[in-house]
Amino acid sequence: MEKQELLYEGKAKKVYATQDPELLIVSYKDDATAFNGLKKGTIAGKGAINNRMSNLLMARLEKEGIPTHFVEELNDRETLVKRVSIVPLEVIVRNIAAGSFSKRYGVEEGAVFDRPTFELSYKNDGLGDPLLNDDHAAALGLASREELALIRNYALTINGLLKKIWADCGVTLVDFKLEFGRLGDGTIVLADEISPDTCRLWDAATHEKLDKDRFRRDLGGVEEAYVRVMERLTNSL
């Protein structure tokens, strides 16, 4: 399968058409942004790590019955995926208070929730990805009630699976963001990526941050954190 025209360029990935109208090629970049694109930088080697990690994790989720867009890894930065139209929602699951949750509600980072917290934002850079609930999402026509229920179910199931995968390599899954898409026939599948860009991953023993927060907060050791968390995952599989 070969790349044809560039269909879309996002902040961290490019998407190309292929000869098959139902398949696309995603190409991961080393570019990193934060705060809705206000902060820009490069994380050397990130594209290859995110590509590999996302594929490993999506393949594991598929085995456990979660439908995803993943088809085949083509090379270190590129992956063949099913064409979807993205549901414009950022689907976030939190196990521990951090990031915008801590800021918004005045809770110290690290407070462990009794049960996972499910959250939706409207994927809309112009509006700054505002938080919304199911009624808002339905009123805006972003997804049907049935789709929202399915997305919530998938997200919480994925949380249970990912928490276990990461715990097995000594990493605590603090929170993460998912995106879902619709195939041509309307089937909802997991899309986008699962990587240190889109998850908070803390060393289980030391709580050291092994994810994009090192870039967002200028903590240093960004590249090394991506390499180390990837090594933990591959060594445990």
- Is residue 100 near ligand TMP by the rule CB under 6 A? yes
Return the number of the residue (51 or 198) whose C-beta is nearest ligand TMP.
Answer: 198
Residue 169 contacts residue 57 (beta carbons within 8 Å): no
The residue range among 66-74, 94-102, 108-116, 218-226 that interacts with ligand TMP, by the rule CB under 6 A, is: 94-102
Residue 143 contacts residue 60 (beta carbons within 8 Å): no
Tokens (6 digits) for 129: 């990805």
- Is residue 215 near ligand TMP by the rule CB under 6 A? no
Select from 220, 201, 221, 197 the least CA-distant residue to 210.
Answer: 201
User: Shortest gap between Cβ of 13 and ligand TMP (angstroms)?
Assistant: 12
Residue 43 contacts residue 222 (beta carbons within 8 Å): yes
Residue at shortest CB range from ligand TMP: 99
- Is residue 99 near ligand TMP by the rule CB under 6 A? yes
Site string for ligand TMP, 166-205 (x = CB under 6 A): ---------xxx--------------------xxx-----
User: Shortest gap between Cβ of 226 and ligand TMP (angstroms)?
Assistant: 14
User: Shortest gap between Cβ of 103 and ligand TMP (angstroms)?
Assistant: 8
Tokens (6 digits) for 47: 């594209």
- Is residue 16 near ligand TMP by the rule CB under 6 A? no
- Give CA–CA dist 201/188, Å, rounded: 26
Return the number of the residue (38 or 65) whose C-beta is nearest ligand TMP.
Answer: 38
The one-letter amino acid code at 186 reads G
The one-letter amino acid code at 225 reads A
Select from 8, 50, 88, 63 the least CA-distant residue to 201.
Answer: 50
Residue that has been written with the tokens 């968390």 in this structure: 229
- Is residue 69 near ligand TMP by the rule CB under 6 A? no
- Give CA–CA dist 206/203, Å, rounded: 6
Return the number of the residue (98 or 158) whose C-beta is nearest ligand TMP.
Answer: 98
Enumerate binding residues for ligand TMP (CB under 6 A): 92, 98-101, 175-177, 198-200
